[in-house]
Amino acid sequence: MSVTANGSDGGGEAPKLVGRAGPAANLIIRGARLLDPRGGLDAPRDLVVRDGEIAEIAEPGGAPEIEGAEVVEGEGLLALPGFVDPHVHLRVPGQEHKEDLETGTRSAAAGGYCAVIAMANTSPPIDSAAVLGSVRDRAEREASIPIGFVANVTRGMAGQELSEMAELSEAGAIGFSDDGLPIADARVLRRALQYQRLAGGVIALHEEDPDLSSGGVMNEGAVSAALGMAGVPEVSESTMIARDCSLALYEGARVHVQHLSARKSVEEIAHAKALDVQVSCEASPHHLTLTDEAVRSLDARFKMNPPLRTEDDRQALIDGLRDGTVDCVATDHAPHAAEEKEVPFEEAAWGVTGLETAFAALHTELVLPGVLPLEVLVERLTCGGEPFGIEAPRLEVGAVANVAVIDPELTWTVGEDGYESRSYNNCFGGRELTGRVLMTVAAGRVAFRQRSFALGVAS
């Protein structure tokens, strides 16, 4: 299954990715550095997109003029395969004052994303074919890039009775998750894993032992002690990962572990992978670039679940991302209204937005200082759909065009021009970051153009 909105993946099932139809792109990106790590491509080239497909990759200056095609002068710019985010919250249905499918996909496209996978902890939650059908219908009208919708593992996200997983899969669920909440009861998860083998679609897990984390508002450690705040210990996460990897192995089922935050969690994943457990996992830009030291500011934009942890944990996540123990980057984009964040830290809602800053934050904090090679970052940003059966976009002739055009040297202040997202609880707000997405082509259509980025049109 590749990134094409409304494309069938065969077998008569509903397509897993849905988005709005629109005019197919015709453009020439001249002389940009084309970087596609999987194809071994890293060179200045002309990239020709015709009717939404990559029609030609030529030596710089080698692409012919095409009547009516937009010309992007790409010298000094990067052209990358579009990113795929396996974990976003678009708040539809029920919390459209925080985000909706139009603002959420515009925010994603502004971050270089060509597809996102939306979580199901909505209001009501997406635990029935009827609710799933209604959000998919809305995506066909409102989504500027394709969205894959997960459905809940349990009815009402109550953690007790399983949803109709086979029916939801047929109705287009791309996978299953109760994200926002863990599946605390091992017997319930075990039965879900048995159904997953039949229904297909990975089960994505928010790993947290609710008894261990109960009452905590930040990482348990030196900083929580200094601030006098109740902490969430790292073992709240790692013990659940160990439990669920054991269950997945026992049942021969496939799981995807969401938002790793701690060294012990990385170690549990490495251990499980060594045992051939069918497990993949993700880490977020905030856990890869920030620590619980940021909480000393008492700014609620640093409150998320799992919480920011220590520098040692952060280093383990970076090492895991580099060596592939951590498969992909996920933003866990979690928009909240101002009144839910502009309150004392302990009372604030959990979660931060991140679609518009993922590349810039990781490029600034990890690539520019030489901590992580650019091609590894690009790989981990583009392969986020794979746990859900979505192939990573590629820059190759014949492929549907999914391209992020980025100025790697442009320094900008996050939030100075506002956000495309309806919410502005971004933990990098006010920071200067280097690297900015100028244009995104998703599923063969131009989904985003930076306002300041002028294009030429050949006559």
Residue nearest to Zn ion (CB): 206
CB nearer Zn ion, residue 63 or residue 348: 348
Backbone dihedral region for residue 253 (phi beyond 0: left; psi -120 to 50: alpha; all else: beta): beta
Q: Which of 70, 99, 100, 179 binds Zn ion (CB under 5 A)?
A: 179
**Residue numbers 408-447 binding Zn ion by CB under 5 A:** none
User: Hey, which bits of 338-420 come out as E strands?
Assistant: 403-413
CB nearer Zn ion, residue 81 or residue 307: 307
Residue with tokens 């109550």: 158
Regarding 209 and contact with Zn ion (CB under 5 A), the answer is no
Shortest CB 405 distance to Zn ion, Å: 28
- Count of positions on this chain that bind Zn ion (CB under 5 A): 3
CB nearer Zn ion, residue 103 or residue 305: 305
User: Active site includes 179?
Assistant: no
C-alpha R_g of the chain: 21
Phi, psi of 365 (to 5 degrees): -85, -30
Short-list 280, 239, 235, 233, CA closest to 258 = 280
- Alpha helices (H) in 258-392, listed in sequence order: 263-274, 285-289, 311-323, 338-341, 358-362, 374-382
Segment near Zn ion (CB under 5 A), from 3-11, 61-69, 179-187, 395-403?
179-187
Shortest CB 33 distance to Zn ion, Å: 33
Segment near Zn ion (CB under 5 A), from 105-113, 201-209, 317-325, 337-345?
201-209
Question: Which of these is catalytic: 178, 209, 327, 332?
Answer: 332
Q: Which string of b and e fits 164-182 if b means at least 16 CB within 10 Å?
A: bbeebbbbbbbbbbbbbbb
For 457, other C-beta atoms within 10 Å of its C-beta total: 11
CB nearer Zn ion, residue 179 or residue 282: 179
CB nearer Zn ion, residue 251 or residue 332: 332
Q: Which of 206, 254, 303, 363 binds Zn ion (CB under 5 A)?
A: 206
**Residue numbers 322-341 binding Zn ion by CB under 5 A:** 332
* 5: three-class secondary structure by DSSP: coil
Shortest CB 139 distance to Zn ion, Å: 19
Phi, psi of 380 (to 5 degrees): -75, -25
Give CA separation, 354 vs 10, 147, 287, in Å: 33, 17, 12
List, by residue number, the catalytic residues. Answer: 332
Positions in the binding site for Zn ion (CB under 5 A): 179, 206, 332
